[in-house]
A and B are shown apart, each in its own frame.
Chain A
């Protein structure tokens, strides 16, 4: 049921923004996030669940504790976009450069 509106809802909450901010500095277990925020541990868990559902946060088990981190794949759309952008730009550059090259060859011939 992940769609644009559920992502908007997930990111629109100030506590979830604060959680994301902390996770961007590095992976954290729930307890440490709760200690840094003015909300209860169950509330942090609930927020993490929402962030996980929209694919921005991932978790993994480390011994007895569960550690949460920002999913770098969550940024994949930005990376993909930039890759398309630069590919298109370099193709445009190559076309321009080849035109210049052809012009310079013509000049050589005229000499």
Chain B
């Protein structure tokens, strides 16, 4: 049977660091640049960790001591790039059975800068996750995020 597909999200940016520094700043200093509001814990972010090896955890430690998982490292090739899983649902909770991948590549360019390319793929997993979320459907807030998006798009189109 053919799986439904949805094209990957691809975003890139060029920065004035060499490839090695760029990789370090991206991974080791994620806490410094990650938009502070983007987390799934109850307390603010204390530190974001990408463990530097295949099988390592990508997690956030919060100021209340709690830790929240984002995914695991599936490829680690400094300074060229790395791949992690992103297991955050449309409801902004971690789902062990929702597996999408985020690959980040660092490519040196002639001007001494580095091109950072991020690809978030396997997004069709959100379809399966949606079905699972439906199974636990309990009320209008149960999976508000995705439904709200559905509703906005639907209303915009009607």
Contact = CB atoms under 8 A, between A and B. Distances in A.
A87 interface: yes
Contacts of A1: 158
A70 B150 CA distance: 14
Contact of A98 (B15, B140, B153): B15
Nearest to B153: A77
Interface in B2-50: 2-7, 9, 11-17, 21-22, 25-26, 29, 32-35, 38
A78 B126 CA distance: 8
Interface string A88-108: 111111111110110010000
Contacts of B25: 93, 96-97, 100
Interface residues on A, range: 35 or more
A50 interface: no
B110 interface: no
B7 to A, nearest CB: 7
Contacts, number: 144
Nearest to B120: A82
Report which residue of A77, A81, A96 has the largest number of chain B beta carbons within 10 angstroms of its beta carbon: A77
Interface in B110-158: 116, 118, 120, 123-124, 126-128, 130-131, 134-135, 137, 140, 146-155, 157-158
Contact of B2 (A4, A11, A26, A88): A26
Contacts of B17: 97, 100-101, 104
B90 interface: yes
A92 B33 contact: yes
Interface in A1-36: 1-4, 7-8, 11-12, 17, 20-21, 24-27
Given A24-B131, A97-B17, A100-B25, 12 more contacts: A7-B154, A25-B3, A27-B1, A55-B150, A78-B90, A81-B149, A86-B11, A88-B35, A93-B13, A93-B15, A93-B26, A100-B21
The list of the 10 closest CB pairs from A to B, nearest first, reads A26-B1, A77-B149, A4-B151, A96-B33, A97-B15, A2-B154, A101-B16, A17-B134, A90-B13, A86-B11
